[in-house]
Chain A
Amino acid sequence: MTWVLDLALAGLAIALVLCFIRVLRGPTAHDRVVALDNLSSTVAGLAGVYAIRLREAIFLDVLIAVALLGFISTVAFARYLERGAHP
């Protein structure tokens, strides 16, 4: 079981790095927002893996908070960028 959890953590870590590459490369602000949204989902998944690894169901609340924040920030960014299009 532990090797599965290690593998999962490694996989999610690689996914985080790849998302960061897209955040850095852009090229548009929308690309960065999509990558950040994906980043927050991956971090939420990381919280889920930690819940199993540490046998603490309380990490599920962390997952909920991160997923919620990811959604809200995506919507906020989308509206902000769209307003920029029609001043």
Chain B
Amino acid sequence: MSTVQEALTAALLLAGVFFSLVAAIGIVRLPDLYLRMHAASKTTTLGLAGILLAVLVYFGTYEVITKVVIVLLFLFLTAPVGAHMIGRSAYVCGVSLYPKTTRYDLERVTVVCATRGGPESEAVHARAIELAKERGGELIFLHVLDTTVLSGLGEKEGALLLRQLRAMAEAVLRSALAQARGAGVRARSELREGEVSRAIAAFVREADADVLVVGYPHTAPGREHEAEERLWRLLGGLQEQEHVRLVVAR
């Protein structure tokens, strides 16, 4: 046993033990499961690997070298698999995160879909359903009754029209819910009245939505600037809530 061999063995051994110890400290000290898993992965990949390499250097026979290489390969293949399975299981079971976490891409989101109804809204619904499905989120269909059209009418006439509009809006929402049910996504619906873009912005704030799906406003050909204007008005209402993602579907 040469001095170099001995020194190398000692160095690798101490490095391995050091990482095992650091990982154990991390497992006790870190604040949530996912961070602890980050620490735990050091035990196998650095700690155990260091000790194994020390064993390899210390014995140096073909038998030991073969075994160490096989075990190292095995460890480097299984450690990520095991960590992934535990992490996924924890996420599915809803193990909570450290409250000061700043970024959480897998958070369950609230998707609000502002719908107008009619055949061209189906693509918009489909986009919202797809988004809710891929993020595992809650889906709310929102229909806003534009009550500004009633302003010029008499009281009796207005009440009659409002009743009819409400019945129509409910039918629109029912068909949207049926579409979501058909795609296997649970959804609920909301009916609001008022000026459209203001009501949408107010609802987004109230529901604390993360994503808002709207259809491209439809206008007569040659008057596209009106559509743009309506979108901008909606965006203006949403400006205060910067975390909301606006998706415009066609």
Contacts and interface: CB of A to CB of B under 8 A. Distances in A.
A42 B10 contact: no
A18 B25 contact: yes
Contact of B93 (A67, A68, A84): A84
B36 A60 contact: no
B88 A28 contact: no
Contact of B86 (A30, A42, A68, A84): A30
Determine chain A's interface SS by DSSP, over half rule: helix
B44 interface: yes
A45 B89 contact: no
B134 to A, nearest CB: 19
Contacts of B71: 60, 63-64, 67
Interface string B43-72: 110011001101100110101100110010
A67 B51 CA distance: 13
Given A38-B24, A45-B47, A74-B85, A52 B92 contact: no
Interface string A28-40: 1011011101100
B86 A33 contact: yes
A48 B9 CA distance: 12
Q: How large is the interface on A (under 10, 10 to 19, 20 to 34, 35 or more residues)?
A: 35 or more
Contacts, number: 159
A15 B46 CA distance: 14
B90 interface: yes
B51 A45 contact: yes
Contacts of B24: 14-16, 18-19, 38, 42
19 contacts: A5-B13, A12-B21, A15-B21, A18-B21, A18-B25, A31-B36, A34-B86, A38-B43, A45-B16, A49-B51, A51-B58, A51-B59, A52-B13, A52-B58, A61-B67, A68-B74, A74-B86, A78-B85, A78-B88
Interface of A: 1, 4-5, 7-8, 11-12, 14-16, 18-19, 21-22, 28, 30-31, 33-35, 37-38, 41-42, 44-45, 48-49, 51-52, 57, 60-61, 63-64, 67-68, 71, 74-75, 77-79, 81-82, 84-86
Interface of B: 6, 9-10, 13-14, 16-18, 20-21, 23-25, 27-28, 33, 36-37, 40, 43-44, 47-48, 51-52, 54-55, 58-59, 61, 63-64, 67-68, 71, 74-75, 78-79, 81-82, 85-86, 88-90, 92-95
Top-9 shortest CB links A-B = A15-B24, A18-B24, A78-B85, A48-B51, A11-B17, A82-B89, A74-B82, A78-B89, A30-B90
